[in-house]
């Protein structure tokens, strides 16, 4: 009888524990978003939007680089007079030395420190993600130096965001979050061999896979919305960015203030500049609003129109299905994708892009064409879609990969939507960019679909679908 009672108590305890984990998982998957997340700004009209890009090409031992994004960011920092607000996901110098990486992190750090010394009253705020401290396991050298020089550092509190990996995060929240991540580490750092060793607790937090993934800089003069990180090991990646001025800067500050509000970061300065006037429509989008606008534009695309995609990760089912549907009604869909072969010196197996590519080419009725960027150890890292129409075209680009994690209010993301007449310089530049890469003008930028065509895509397709179902993935 005593054993029976004892067993019943143990069973009751286990059932209660499982119930708590399930309820925790469900709540944190659907809880209300913090105010200011999933933002759709007003449509503003400006006279100019500059398209910036980095491309890397050539042979691995003799890479050529045309990089302009961070050169312009350094100029923007120098031109600021009242404030600088910068939000960057990856900001560190860790790498394994496989390639000759540019020192982006130290260059940006020195640029900000120099500006602060030149103008001590200038308000500089640097917002970032906890990945740079390997989730609280150690200090981030560059961030510490910035802070020592009077620059305000805000590490985003991503715990308030919805959980993207509920099967795991419920267990983590119930059992492990209470112990913190700091202390003497002994496990190799996932960022790079030379990075500080980490604690087991940091790895446990990492497996929640949630982030402030934005790449934005805003000053009283201008703003840049980008796909590029000031991260040395990312310094050879191909990326894209857009520079814009006017009232959209105020919208950027609203979305960044939201982070400070739930991360204890104080108050940002206000944008008091004059509104721009022009014929180019620009709109700031974050998180789920990015997905909403992408789907709307795909659905509106008509026979004989074109959709061009430049993307690091393409995995979101709604976008994939709408692109296939657009192709089936006569829209030409051209994709330039990263082959998902490299990640900071480590070999990857082509997920998610290769099984997705096989599906889209197969089901696109001849209207979907795909080329792979010819990477040599770096990544083709843009997150951009271009709707080319007869008279007026639209671009949506920024930090958001086309994945569930990036588009369903899980990560923090910032994109810009640009609509303009095809005679606008930004549309001419966009058209030239895609045609240059697609047609391999002067260099072998892209490779035919067949170069990475899967002979037996079923296994990878199954892995891709299982990862999507169980959400144990970075996409």
Does one domain contain both 126 and 248? yes
Does one domain contain both 253 and 305? no
Is 11 inside any structural domain?
no
List beta partners, residue 285: 40, 415
Does one domain contain both 160 and 190? yes
Does one domain contain both 220 and 330? no
The whole-model pTM stands at 0.94
Does one domain contain both 156 and 242? yes
* Domain boundaries, position 449: 280-470
Structure tokens at 171: 């267990």
Distances (CA, A) of 53 to 46, 344, 382, 398: 21, 21, 9, 12
Enclosing H/E stretch for 308 = strand 306-311
Neighbours of 16 (CB within 10 A): 10
Does one domain contain both 259 and 394? no
Tell me if 176 sits within 8 A of 204, measured CB to CB: yes
SS3 content of the chain, % helix, strand, coil (to 5): 40, 25, 40
Does one domain contain both 290 and 436? yes
Is 8 inside any structural domain?
no
Tell me if 181 sits within 8 A of 135, measured CB to CB: yes
Sign of the C-alpha dihedral, residues 354, 358, 364, 368? positive
CA distance 461 to 354: 9
CA distance 253 to 86: 10
Does one domain contain both 214 and 311? no
Q: Which pLDDT score, from 0 to 100, does residue 193 have?
A: 83
List Cβ neighbours of 474 (8 Å cut-off, separation of 6 or more). Answer: 209, 405
Distances (CA, A) of 382 to 128, 239, 391, 453, 470: 20, 5, 25, 21, 26
List beta partners, residue 334: 308, 369
Tell me if 203 sits within 8 A of 164, measured CB to CB: no
Is 15 inside any structural domain?
no
Q: Which pLDDT score, from 0 to 100, does residue 199 have?
A: 92
Tell the residue number behind the tokens 């045609």, with chain if given: 435
Tell me if 232 sits within 8 A of 92, measured CB to CB: yes
Does one domain contain both 337 and 443? yes
CATH code, domain with 195: 3.30.870.10
Instruction: Identify the CA nearest to 335 among candidates 452, 256, 214.
Output: 452
Tell me if 396 sits within 8 A of 385, measured CB to CB: yes
Neighbours of 442 (CB within 10 A): 8
Instruction: Identify the CA nearest to 258 among candidates 268, 246, 244.
Output: 268
Is 116 inside any structural domain?
yes
Q: Which pLDDT score, from 0 to 100, does residue 4 have?
A: 58
Omega within 30 of 0 (cis) for the link into 266:
no
In the chain, how many domains are there? Answer: 2
Instruction: Identify the CA nearest to 231 among candidates 115, 107, 110, 346.
Output: 107
**Exposed e or buried b per residue across 289-313, where buried means at least 16 C-beta atoms within 10 angstroms of its C-beta:** bbbebbbebbeebeeebbbbbbbbb
Tell the residue number behind the tokens 């534009």, with chain if given: 297
Tell me if 211 sits within 8 A of 135, measured CB to CB: no
360 phi, psi to nearest 5 deg: -70, -45
List beta partners, residue 448: 371
Structure tokens at 153: 């550092």
Q: Which pLDDT score, from 0 to 100, does residue 185 have?
A: 83
The pLDDT tens digits for 302-349 are: 999 999 999 999 999 999 999 999 999 999 999 999 999 977 656 678
Does one domain contain both 205 and 319? no
Enclosing H/E stretch for 299 = helix 288-300
Is 244 inside any structural domain?
yes
Does one domain contain both 325 and 405? yes
Is 150 inside any structural domain?
yes
The pLDDT tens digits for 63-106 are: 999 999 999 999 999 999 999 999 999 999 998 877 889 999 99
Q: Which pLDDT score, from 0 to 100, does residue 2 have?
A: 63
Is 13 inside any structural domain?
no
Report residues of the chain scoring pLDDT below 50. Answer: 456
Q: What spatial distance separates the first Cα and last Cα of the chain, rounded to whole Å?
A: 52
Q: Which pLDDT score, from 0 to 100, does residue 469 have?
A: 58
Is 372 inside any structural domain?
yes
CA distance 387 to 367: 15
Does one domain contain both 329 and 435? yes
CA distance 399 to 114: 27
CA distance 351 to 36: 32
């Amino acid at each position: 009888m005593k054993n029976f009672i004892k067993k019943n108590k143990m069973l009751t305890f286990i059932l209660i524990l499982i119930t708590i984990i399930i309820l925790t998982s469900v709540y944190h998957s659907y809880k209300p978003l913090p105010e200011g997340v999933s933002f759709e700004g007003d449509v503003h009209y400006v006279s100019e939007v500059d398209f910036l890009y980095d491309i890397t090409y050539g042979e691995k031992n003799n890479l050529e680089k045309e990089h302009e994004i961070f050169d312009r960011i350094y100029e923007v920092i120098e031109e600021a007079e009242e404030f600088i607000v910068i939000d960057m996901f990856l900001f560190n110098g860790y790498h394994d030395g496989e390639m000759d990486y540019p020192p982006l992190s130290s260059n940006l750090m020195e640029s900000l420190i120099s500006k602060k010394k030149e103008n001590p009253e200038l308000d500089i705020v640097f917002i970032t993600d906890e990945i740079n401290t390997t989730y609280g396991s150690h200090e981030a050298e560059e961030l510490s130096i910035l802070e020592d020089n009077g620059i305000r550092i805000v590490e985003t509190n991503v715990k308030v965001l919805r959980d993207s990996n509920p099967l795991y995060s419920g267990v983590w929240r119930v059992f492990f979050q209470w112990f913190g991540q700091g202390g003497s580490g002994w496990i190799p750092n996932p960022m790079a061999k030379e990075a500080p060793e980490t604690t087991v607790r940091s790895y446990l937090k990492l497996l929640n896979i949630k982030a402030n993934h934005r790449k934005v800089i805003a000053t009283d003069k201008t703003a840049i919305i980008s796909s590029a990180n000031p991260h040395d090991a990312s310094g050879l990646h191909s990326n894209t960015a857009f520079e814009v001025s006017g009232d959209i800067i105020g919208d950027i500050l609203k979305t960044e203030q939201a982070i400070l509000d739930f991360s204890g970061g104080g108050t940002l300065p206000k944008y008091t500049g004059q509104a721009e006037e022009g014929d180019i429509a620009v709109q700031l989008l974050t998180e789920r609003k990015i997905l909403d606008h992408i789907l709307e534009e795909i659905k509106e695309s008509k026979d004989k129109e074109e959709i061009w995609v430049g993307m690091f990760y393409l995995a979101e089912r709604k976008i994939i299905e709408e692109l296939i549907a657009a192709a089936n009604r006569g829209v030409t869909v051209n994709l330039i994708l990263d082959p998902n072969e490299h990640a900071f010196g480590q070999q990857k197996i082509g997920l998610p892009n290769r099984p997705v590519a096989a599906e889209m080419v197969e089901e696109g009725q001849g209207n979907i064409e795909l080329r792979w960027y010819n990477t040599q150890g770096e990544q083709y890292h843009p997150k951009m879609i271009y709707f080319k129409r007869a008279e007026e075209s639209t671009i949506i680009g920024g930090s958001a990969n086309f994945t569930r994690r990036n588009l369903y209010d899980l990560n923090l993301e910032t994109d810009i939507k640009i609509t303009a007449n095809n005679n606008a310089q930004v549309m001419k530049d966009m058209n030239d960019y895609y045609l240059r890469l697609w047609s391999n003008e002067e260099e072998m930028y892209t490779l035919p679909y067949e170069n990475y065509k899967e002979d037996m895509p079923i296994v990878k397709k199954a892995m891709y679908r299982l990862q999507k179902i169980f959400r144990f993935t970075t996409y």
